[in-house]
Structure 1
Amino acid sequence: MNLDQLLSAFPHLVGPLRILIVDDQPVNIRVLHGVFRGKFEVLMATNGEQAIAVCRSQRPDIVLLDVVMPDISGHEVCRQLKADPDTKDIPVIFVTSQAEDSEEALGFEIGAVDFISKPVNPVTVLARVRTHLALKLQNDLLRSMAMIDGLTAVANRRNFDNALTNSWRRCLRDGAPLSLVLLDLDCFKQFNDRYGHQAGDSCLVAVAKTLKLALRRPDDLVARYGGEEFACILPNTDAKGAANRGASMREQVKALEIEHADSQVGPFVSISVGLVTLVPHASTSAEMLLEAADQQLYRAKDTGRDRVCAIEL
């Protein structure tokens, strides 16, 4: 599929495409901006440190990177992007006046996907960028499909494990709080026994959709953790914000009013929620966070179900 076909076929999975142009010369940025204006969202950086920061915070879909810059060279920027799990999959195209074979060999060795020579030809630049955007979107879609739970269409356990590791690393680096929610459908075995497994599957789908709608930010993630258990990762979320999210999830699931005649806690399907918040540091780990959330979930179920139990470490 070419880029237009991908954008047409998967509009719900592909948002506005963003291009980061990195060059210490404003005139070069203006030229490239003119090529992409009206076609893509254009981000700009005038030095290497700024480029790395934009990639980490804005996650562009592709980077057009000048090689020769005064602070950090384009080669070093590329190395740092490829060494970071959060940015390693962003394609990098070097834009350079250095056309030697050794320069191209070095660029490909450190992770670049292509080279564009200065002065740029607008037709060539646009064609190459569109080609690499199409390749990236195809890879993103394949990775996405491998990371989605087949029943509920939220993240699967493998996706959750990867996302928790990456969120932990980012919050550790930034000194930011990380909250984790584990939740379980109350008396779900009895629900399946009375209404059948097909109804049970429909219930899980409805709950998963509700949980996903309860999350408000792009970096938040809801995953099917196993069976009738779900997990939600909330980066950069303090204890108060996480408690609000947990309470909202509980209320919105009850608002579905899915009949559960054999529930011990009410006439409708409900959830028990365990929640933990901490600021990662060297003496803690993602496994510790997960264990603490599991303990809070056990406490919620042990003290009557249909409630939120939380702790801040």
Structure 2
Amino acid sequence: MSDLFSYNILDNDVEHISELQILIVDDESSDLSYYSAILSGLCTISFATDSATAMSMCVSDNPPDLILCDVLMPDQTGFEFCQELKSQPFTKDIPVIFLSSLNALEDKLEGFSTGGIDYIVKPVPQGEIVQRITTHLNIILERKKLEFYSYRDAVTKVANRRIYEYVFTKEWQNCIRYEEMFSLIMLDIDKFKSYNTFYGHVAGDEVLMLVAQQLEQFGRRSNDLFARIGGEEFVLLLPTCQSEGASQIAQRMIEAVNMLSIPHSESPSKFLTISAGVATMLPEANIEQGCLFNFADNALFKAKQKGGNQICVSDHTRIPKSFITNGHVARERRTKQQGSTQRVGQRR
């Protein structure tokens, strides 16, 4: 899975190849014009005349779904560009097709050995290239559909635990690198087992979906992630977010569920409610990310003990030894707003 893929996958519900994007890399403007004209009827076409420009387009927020690349280019050969592309975790999954006038067997073999998925010899008849590219686009489309559903929770349609764990790891490392705070909100539907018992599991699934869709809107930034992690439990990842901002978001999430006014006869309020646990800390290389989850989970437990329908913010000051790596000794920490005068996080 590429890094960019982790942010885009949940918005990547592609239904037709016309929604895909091809990047053509060729230093000959006449070739760019020719192939762009032929393929523009299939999907969106972009182009680059050198590998450096092509690479910058590949690492953008809107990377291509397929690359058609010339072999003979002045700054870097197509083979070298493909090798560089495949060596980077955030671009390695982008398929590359070579378009070249080189027809020798050794050239074709080199193209495949560097990571190309096809090798088309110029000049190529218009009908042939359209059919070959269409075949590859259909394969890409089917793969994207499978990927999309593999990262969605089957019941609620929000992100599932698989993508949550990946994004959590990725953003934890980013916060270490840039010395930013990381907030996490754990959420749980109050008395959900009794709701299932009284109303039935079909109604329970319907409520899970309704609540999830209501709460998903609070993960607004591109690196936020709301996910169902199991049962009636959800989590909202808020990298580069301070404790105060995370607490405000958690309170609004509780209010949003209250506004749904879902009847729940076993609830003290007679309506379905949720509880939230909030934790914030400054990630460090020797601290496992599970520590932040543990703090939020403990805070959620306290909120439930107090009767639910409320938030509880973790007041931790010590990192448990079980979450410290490389033999470091646990030490006192003020993580709630630690370093706020030296580090300006993105406040919510």
Change (3 A) 1:132 1:217: farther
Number of the residue aligned with 2:92: 88
Letter of the aligned partner of 1:93 in structure 2?
I
Q: Give the one of 66, 81, 101 matched to 2:70.
A: 66
Correspondence 1:54 to 2:60: no
- TM-score relative to the length of structure 2: 0.70
Q: Deviations over 1:4-63 (max 9, x none)?
A: xxxxxxx95437211122233444333332223354222333333332332232132111
Q: Count residues with an aligned counterpart.
A: 301
Report deviation, 1:104: 1.7
Structure 1 range deviating more: 55-64 or 192-201 = 192-201
Number of the residue aligned with 1:8: none
Identity %: 39
Structure 1 range deviating more: 237-246 or 134-143 = 237-246
Report deviation, 1:256: 1.4
Matches within 5 A, 1:1-313: 13-14=14-15, 16-57=19-60, 58-119=62-123, 121-168=125-172, 180-216=184-220, 220-233=224-237, 238-239=241-242, 245-264=249-268, 266-275=269-278, 282-298=285-301, 300-301=303-304, 305-308=308-311, 309=313
- TM-score relative to the length of structure 1: 0.77
Confirm or deny: 8 A CA contact 1:152 1:204 kept in the other structure.
yes
Change (3 A) 1:302 1:156: same
Find the aligned partners of 2:284 and 2:79 in 1 and give their Cα distance: 31
Query: Please, which runs of 5 or more residues in structure 2 have no aligned partner?
Result: 1-11, 315-335, 339-348
Letter of the aligned partner of 2:80 in structure 1?
E
Q: Deviations over 1:165-202 (max 9, x none)?
A: 45556777788876544321123233334433332222
Query: Please, which runs of 5 or more residues in structure 1 have no aligned partner?
Result: 1-10
Change (3 A) 1:186 1:117: same
Alignment root-mean-square deviation, CA: 3.5
Letter of the aligned partner of 2:104 in structure 1?
E
Letter of the aligned partner of 1:19 in structure 2?
I
Counterpart secondary structure, 2:59 = helix
Counterpart secondary structure, 1:138 = helix
Change (3 A) 1:25 1:295: farther
Confirm or deny: 8 A CA contact 1:148 1:155 kept in the other structure.
yes
Find the aligned partners of 1:73 and 1:171 in 2 and give their Cα distance: 36
